[in-house]
């Protein structure tokens, strides 16, 4: 009876793993086929053909689009973290009236449906002359990176022992110095975590990227993949789509696998505490 | 020049009054201990002197200057925290230099001071280590070293020994006493709830209770002439015996107090008859708990050496009347009337 | 102050545009002349168009069948997805909570669906669910569960199921992790005490585990529920232009940009915002979250 239980357990584990990994595996499989081979359904690789991958970069736009995504995601993360560190210091260590309400307000911004700010943002971005510029994305992505980073960093800041801060005050350090030389080194893991999560979120973002960019060379990767179309209306180049998808996903998967511990703690810290 | 004066200091957190009307004058170079039960306000008082808490009302003067509103770093004080508060990501040397860097001292001066302090505390070979590689006692010394390098006029200690184990506590206590001797001229204010530390380290003790000062005096003062029932019960271990029954009434008092070391046991009729409840044998002394008719709670008698007495034995407890204390209903002591006994 | 810069940016990127959107909902703005928008009151929301001779019809968002269809779609989507995500997440969390060799590896790999960009997931599943060449249909036919291939994304009946499948697949890891965190906070000795008392494991789960993990579970459900109400990416990429899957966000966007009914779309966005806001406020009051930081952990 015990053997049946253990076998059943591991069967469950196998099912869980299979459902998690199969779609991506299949995408890789498809991307390695071309032409007619794609339309034969097979479960195991028959050929390894890299022509889809070559084709993806041939027109030069895809490479540019990847760079666009990298640029936007990186800059957004750096800027957000900069704002968030100072803000969370004030929110976590400096008692002032209405502090709880401001924190609540910040959190609630992350509840805004993206669509609700879309028209307003659209008008604003056009007015600022940022339409079709990557900076429009850097600006608008703050709507979800700022609340998240501030929230998580504030939680971490609260945990830093008060006595170390007091020792620094006794040593005569000004608040900025305290942040820079005492807190920042201690917050390092939290910064990595939130930075990673914000990066992933920014990389994945679709709606704003779709709406604010109008030319292919300016587009980011998610929009690019969504818009891949074939020579005619009825011909969807699945091979290319899968190849592009794999290219775009592999770095993310690598990031997540390497930093998984940090990512998990960041996700749950934000949610479980709240 | 390092005289510390507190004038009618009060502290409230919102509506809660935590410290009331504290007046103290601490001489330069004195070792003063603030002692009292948890929540009596001693740490708050210390932190007000440090500048980590605002003073709600009253005046603070250090070295003659008004420091009531001054920033901590401008007061010439250094603090040793209960949990050491070392910067975990910096080496010992960097920990000890941080404050000096903020004060913008020359590099050579900083290095010299760090070396001096390290030598004084015998932590020279720990200078390049990080706090997590140090034992509790070593961290404590680094914390003290960090305070020394700033050459403060006043040293503040916030329960520095409570995180150490018993053996280490004894050693470090002695080191702190030695430090005080070496840094003659530096006033030291030390907060603890342990009255043994208070008695052994202090030049003068300030006993606090519920936010106000119960008594200020030398250890011996507090021991022999407690100004209130509270101080009498707080100072001295084991605690003074308080009898509310016949011996007190016979002398016109609400309570009769006598320390365990001022009671003696005899098997003849001298004293109050009673029955032994239990004995605590420490080797050097024995504490005998005796049930008597005179007192509701058992009396604790401290006798030197070992006693061949067991539970259930009949004994007589004789007080040394010249060392007895009498307290009225409000806990105030009054002069001993001639004994009725 | 440290706080100010961040607040200014946040205000600019969130509050101001939100205000603008709400404003647009009350105007006749159109994509070509946003600045020339004029105030028209509640016309986008509800309006009575009189034909004369006692006949007329209601116009406006609140009278629009397509809008209410979108609302129903969204709510249905949210309820079903979150339920399954919670269920599957719970199962995965329970599995990951047990100690077995390779647990760390499994936990890492389970995250893969979450790591994949939403758009990519939609494309991948779109391919797998392809009516002619999709591998899902192939598997189902081979297993004898269906006779002919199903047009998952094209057919109105199954389109919603397809969208839900992708969303559940992608978000279950997140729920699983959340629940796992809650599970791991339950001290081991409780289980040991139950074992000593010889309590049957199913009862242990129902009476001990479930109540103790409920807070984490509820947090996950609410967060995910609010997310689900706002869903856009999956639907837009997997099943564009499909009545059965049009959610409120998709509906709003179509009006904003595709149909040149900018003001109308803004009104729809505002309604969606209100719905989400009401639910959020309700939840906050229900749990009275401690944000002042006065309580210690």
**Contact call for B and C: 3+ CB–CB distances under 8 Å:** no
Among the partner residues B79, B88, B103, nearest to A172 by beta-carbon distance: B103
Residue C39 placed within a domain: yes
Quick: pLDDT tens for A239-262.
Answer: 778 888 888 888 888 888 788 777
Q: Do B72 and A168 touch (CB under 8 A)?
A: no
Q: Contact at 8 Å (CB) between B252 and B336?
A: no
Give me the residue spans of the domains in chain A. Answer: 1-49, 65-268
Quick: pLDDT tens for B193-230.
Answer: 888 889 999 999 999 998 889 999 999 999 988 889 89
**Better-predicted residue by pLDDT, A165 or A37:** A165
Per-residue pLDDT, C82? 92
Shared domain for C214 and C292, answered yes or no, is yes
- Spell out which residues of chain A touch residue B72, defining contact as CB-CB under 8 Å: 169-170, 172
Shared domain for C142 and C38, answered yes or no, is no
Per-residue pLDDT, C32? 67
Q: Do A166 and B88 touch (CB under 8 A)?
A: no
Shared domain for C49 and C185, answered yes or no, is no
Dihedrals phi, psi of A113, to nearest 5 degrees: -65, 135
DSSP B239: P
Per-residue pLDDT, C18? 84
pTM of the model: 0.75
B289 Cα to chain A: minimum distance (Å): 43
* Residue from B50, B99, B158, B160 to probe the interface with A (highest A Cβ count within 10 Å): B99
Per-residue pLDDT, A77? 92
Chain C contact present for A225, CB below 8 A: yes
Cα(B303)–Cα(B285) distance, rounded to whole angstroms?
6
Residue C259 placed within a domain: yes
Per-residue pLDDT, C297? 37
Sequence length of chain C is: 297
Q: Do B73 and A182 touch (CB under 8 A)?
A: no
Taking residue B61's Cβ as centre, other Cβ atoms within 10 Å add up to 15
Per-residue pLDDT, C294? 40
B332 Cα to chain A: minimum distance (Å): 39
Find residues 147-206 of chain B whose CB sits inside 8 Å of chain A.
Answer: 150
What are the beta bridge partners of residue B78? Answer: B155
Residue C185 placed within a domain: yes
Per-residue pLDDT, C34? 65
Per-residue pLDDT, B335? 63
Q: Contact at 8 Å (CB) between C89 and C172?
A: yes
Among the partner residues A161, A163, A172, nearest to B73 by beta-carbon distance: A172
Taking residue B323's Cβ as centre, other Cβ atoms within 10 Å add up to 14
Residue C142 placed within a domain: yes
Q: Do A21 and C109 touch (CB under 8 A)?
A: yes
Q: Contact at 8 Å (CB) between B198 and B33?
A: yes
Pairing of strands B187-192, B154-158: parallel
Q: Is the pLDDT of residue B309 over 70?
A: yes
Cα(A148)–Cα(A127) distance, rounded to whole angstroms?
27
Q: Contact at 8 Å (CB) between C136 and C152?
A: yes
Q: Which of A201, A210, A224, A180 is nearest to A86 (CA)?
A: A180
End-to-end, the C-alpha distance of chain B in Å comes to: 53
Helix (H, G, I), strand (E, B) or coil at B265: strand
- Spell out which residues of chain A touch residue B81, defining contact as CB-CB under 8 Å: 163, 166-167
End-to-end, the C-alpha distance of chain A in Å comes to: 43
Q: Indicate the range of A109-118, B65-74, C121-130, C143-152 predicted with least confidence.
A: C143-152
Q: Do B98 and A168 touch (CB under 8 A)?
A: yes
Shared domain for C9 and C82, answered yes or no, is no
* Closest residue in chain A to residue B50, using alpha carbons only: A170
Shared domain for C154 and C27, answered yes or no, is no
Q: Do C10 and A106 touch (CB under 8 A)?
A: yes
Q: Helices then strands (H, E): number in chain A?
A: 13, 0
Per-residue pLDDT, B217? 92
Q: Helices then strands (H, E): number in chain C?
A: 14, 2
* Closest residue in chain B to residue A163, using alpha carbons only: B85
Shared domain for C23 and C170, answered yes or no, is no
Residue C42 placed within a domain: yes
Per-residue pLDDT, C25? 78
Per-residue pLDDT, C289? 54
Q: Do C293 and A92 touch (CB under 8 A)?
A: yes
Shared domain for C128 and C176, answered yes or no, is yes
Q: Which of B197, B196, B179 is nearest to B188 (CA)?
A: B179
Q: Do A222 and C13 touch (CB under 8 A)?
A: no
Dihedrals phi, psi of C48, to nearest 5 degrees: -105, 120
Quick: pLDDT tens for B172-200.
Answer: 888 899 889 888 888 999 999 888 889 99
Q: In what order do the strands lie in the sheet with B333-334?
A: B241-243, B255-258, B325-327, B333-334
Shared domain for C196 and C106, answered yes or no, is yes
Residue C135 placed within a domain: yes
Q: Say what percent of chain A tops pLDDT 90.
A: 3
Rg (CA), chain B: 24
- Spell out which residues of chain C touch residue A102, defining contact as CB-CB under 8 Å: 3, 7
3-state SS, B35-99, equals: ECCCCCCHHHHHHHHHCCCCCCEEEEEECCEECCCCCHHHCCEEEECCCCCCCCCCCHHHHHHHH
Per-residue pLDDT, A267? 67
- Fold exhibited by the domain A65-268: MetI-like fold (1.10.3720)
CATH of the domain at C196: 1.10.3720.10
- Note down the domain range covering C11: 4-61
Q: Is the pLDDT of residue B31 over 90?
A: yes
| pLDDT tens per residue across all 297 residues of chain C | 667 778 888 888 888 888 888 887 787 777 666 666 677 777 777 777 666 666 666 677 777 888 888 888 888 899 999 999 999 998 888 888 888 888 888 888 888 888 888 888 888 888 888 877 777 877 787 787 777 777 777 777 788 888 898 999 999 988 888 888 888 878 878 888 877 777 777 887 887 788 888 887 887 888 888 888 888 888 888 888 787 888 888 888 888 887 777 788 888 888 888 888 888 888 777 776 544 334 333
Shared domain for C139 and C268, answered yes or no, is yes
Per-residue pLDDT, C35? 67
Q: Contact at 8 Å (CB) between B240 and B287?
A: no
A170 Cα to chain B: minimum distance (Å): 5
Residue B122 makes CB contacts below 8 A (sequence gap 6+) with: B141
- Spell out which residues of chain A touch residue B87, defining contact as CB-CB under 8 Å: 164, 167-168, 182
- Spell out which residues of chain A touch residue C133, defining contact as CB-CB under 8 Å: 38-39, 41, 238
Mean pLDDT across B227-238: 89
Per-residue pLDDT, A36? 67
Shared domain for C32 and C146, answered yes or no, is no
The set of chains that have 3 or more CB pairs under 8 A with C is A
Per the structure, the count of domains in chain C is 2
B39 Cα to chain A: minimum distance (Å): 18
Q: Do A169 and B82 touch (CB under 8 A)?
A: no
Sign of the torsion formed by the C-alpha atoms of A213, A218, A219 and A225: positive
What are the beta bridge partners of residue A94? Answer: none
pLDDT band at B340 (very low <50, low <70, confident <90, very high): very low
Mean pLDDT across B114-142: 89
Last residue of a domain, one of C61, C89, C104: C61
Cα(C239)–Cα(C155) distance, rounded to whole angstroms?
10
**Exposure string for B98-134, b = 16+ CB within 10 A, e = fewer:** bbbbbeebeeeebeebbeebbebbebeebbeebbeeb
Last residue of a domain, one of C37, C61, C85: C61
- Spell out which residues of chain B touch residue A168, defining contact as CB-CB under 8 Å: 87, 98
Shared domain for C30 and C84, answered yes or no, is no
* Residue from C4, C5, C6 to probe the interface with A (highest A Cβ count within 10 Å): C6
* Residue from C16, C21, C172 to probe the interface with A (highest A Cβ count within 10 Å): C21
What is the rounded average pLDDT for all residues in chain A? 81
Shared domain for C22 and C149, answered yes or no, is no
Q: Which residue pairs, CB below 8 angstroms and at least 24 apart, start in C132-140? A: C132/A39, C133/A38, C133/A39, C133/A41, C133/A238, C134/A41, C135/A26, C135/A41, C135/A43, C138/A41
Q: Is the pLDDT of residue B105 over 60?
A: yes
Find residues 11-70 of chain B whose CB sits inside 8 Å of chain A.
Answer: 50-52
């Amino acid at each position: 009876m015990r053997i049946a239980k253990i076998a059943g357990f591991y069967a469950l584990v196998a099912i869980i793993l299979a459902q998690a990994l199969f779609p991506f595996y299949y995408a890789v499989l498809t991307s390695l086929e071309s032409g007619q081979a794609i339309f034969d359904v097979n479960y195991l690789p028959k050929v390894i053909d890299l022509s889809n991958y070559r084709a993806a970069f041939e027109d030069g736009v895809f490479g540019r689009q990847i760079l666009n995504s990298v640029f936007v995601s990186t800059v957004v993360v750096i800027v957000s973290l900069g704002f968030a560190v100072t803000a969370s210091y004030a929110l976590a260590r400096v008692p002032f009236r209405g502090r709880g309400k401001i924190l609540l307000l910040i959190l609630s911004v992350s509840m805004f449906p993206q669509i609700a700010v879309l028209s307003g943002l659209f008008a604003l971005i056009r007015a600022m002359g940022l339409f079709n510029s990557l900076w429009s994305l850097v600006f608008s992505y703050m709507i979800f990176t700022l609340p998240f980073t501030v929230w998580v960093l504030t939680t971490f800041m609260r945990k830093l022992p008060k006595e170390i801060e007091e020792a620094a005050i006794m040593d005569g350090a000004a608040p900025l110095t305290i942040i820079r030389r005492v807190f920042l080194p201690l917050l390092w893991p939290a910064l990595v975590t939130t930075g990673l999560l914000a990066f992933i979120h920014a990389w994945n973002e679709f709606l704003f990227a779709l709406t604010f960019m109008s030319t292919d060379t300016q587009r980011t990767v998610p929009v690019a993949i969504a818009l891949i179309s074939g020579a005619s209306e009825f011909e969807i180049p699945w091979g290319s789509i899968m190849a592009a998808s794999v290219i775009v996903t592999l770095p993310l998967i690598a990031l997540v696998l390497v930093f998984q511990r940090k990512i998990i703690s960041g996700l749950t810290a934000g949610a479980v505490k709240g | 020049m390092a005289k510390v004066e507190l004038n009618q200091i009060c502290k409230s957190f919102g509506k809660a009054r935590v410290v009331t009307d504290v007046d103290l004058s601490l001489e330069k170079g004195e070792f003063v201990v603030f002692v009292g039960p948890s929540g009596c306000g001693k740490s708050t008082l210390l932190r007000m002197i440090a500048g980590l808490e605002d003073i709600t009302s009253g005046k603070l003067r250090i070295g003659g200057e008004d420091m009531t509103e001054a920033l901590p770093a401008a007061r010439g004080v250094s603090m040793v925290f209960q949990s050491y508060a070392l910067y975990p990501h910096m080496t010992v040397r960097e920990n000890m230099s941080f404050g000096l860097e903020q004060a913008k001292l020359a590099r050579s001066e900083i290095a010299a001071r760090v070396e001096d302090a390290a030598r004084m505390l015998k932590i020279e070979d720990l200078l390049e280590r990080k706090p997590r590689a140090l034992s509790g006692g070593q961290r404590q010394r680094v914390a003290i070293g960090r305070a020394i390098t700033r050459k403060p006029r006043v040293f503040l200690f916030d329960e520095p020994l409570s995180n150490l184990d018993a053996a280490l506590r004894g050693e470090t206590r002695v080191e702190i006493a030695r430090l005080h001797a070496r840094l003659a001229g530096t006033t030291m204010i030390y907060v603890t709830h342990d009255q043994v530390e208070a008695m052994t380290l202090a030049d003068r003790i300030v006993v606090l209770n519920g936010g106000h000062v119960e008594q200020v005096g030398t250890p011996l003062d507090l021991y022999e002439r407690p100004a209130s029932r509270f101080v009498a019960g707080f100072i001295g271990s084991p605690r003074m015996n308080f009898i509310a029954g016949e011996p007190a009434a016979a002398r016109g008092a609400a309570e009769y107090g006598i320390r365990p070391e001022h009671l003696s046991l005899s098997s003849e009729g001298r004293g109050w008859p009673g029955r032994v409840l239990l004995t605590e044998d420490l080797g050097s002394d024995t504490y005998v708990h005796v049930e008597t008719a005179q007192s509701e709670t058992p009396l604790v008698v401290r006798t030197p050496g070992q006693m061949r007495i067991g539970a259930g034995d009949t004994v007589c407890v004789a007080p040394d009347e010249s060392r007895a204390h009498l307290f009225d209903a409000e806990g105030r002591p009054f002069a001993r009337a001639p004994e009725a006994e | 102050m440290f706080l100010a810069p961040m607040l200014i940016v946040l205000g600019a990127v969130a509050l101001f545009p939100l205000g603008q959107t709400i404003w647009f909902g009350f105007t006749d703005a159109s994509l070509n002349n946003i600045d020339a928008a004029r105030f028209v009151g509640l016309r986008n929301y509800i309006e009575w168009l009189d034909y004369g001779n006692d006949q007329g019809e209601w116009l406006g968002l609140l009278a629009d069948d397509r809008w209410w269809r979108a609302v129903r779609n969204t709510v249905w989507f949210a309820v079903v997805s979150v339920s399954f995500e919670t269920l599957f997440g719970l199962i995965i969390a329970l599995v990951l909570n047990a100690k077995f060799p390779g647990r760390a590896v499994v936990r890492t790999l389970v995250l893969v669906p979450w790591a994949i960009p939403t758009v990519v997931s939609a494309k991948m599943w779109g391919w797998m669910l392809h009516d002619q060449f999709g591998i899902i249909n192939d598997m189902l036919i081979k297993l004898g569960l269906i006779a002919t291939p199903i047009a998952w994304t094209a057919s109105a009946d199954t389109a919603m199921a397809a969208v839900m499948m992708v969303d559940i697949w992608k978000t279950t890891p997140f729920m699983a992790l959340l629940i796992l965190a809650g599970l791991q906070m339950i001290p081991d000795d409780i289980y040991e005490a139950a074992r000593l008392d010889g309590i049957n494991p199913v009862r242990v789960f129902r009476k001990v585990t479930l109540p103790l993990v409920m807070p984490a579970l509820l947090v996950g459900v609410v967060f995910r529920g609010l997310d689900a109400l706002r869903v856009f990416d999956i639907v837009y990429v997997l099943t564009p232009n499909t009545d059965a899957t049009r959610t409120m966000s998709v509906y709003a966007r179509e009006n904003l940009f595709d149909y040149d009914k900018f003001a109308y779309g803004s009104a729809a966005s505002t309604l969606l915002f209100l719905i989400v806001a009401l639910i959020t406020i309700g939840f906050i009051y229900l749990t009275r979250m401690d944000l002042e930081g006065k309580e210690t952990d």
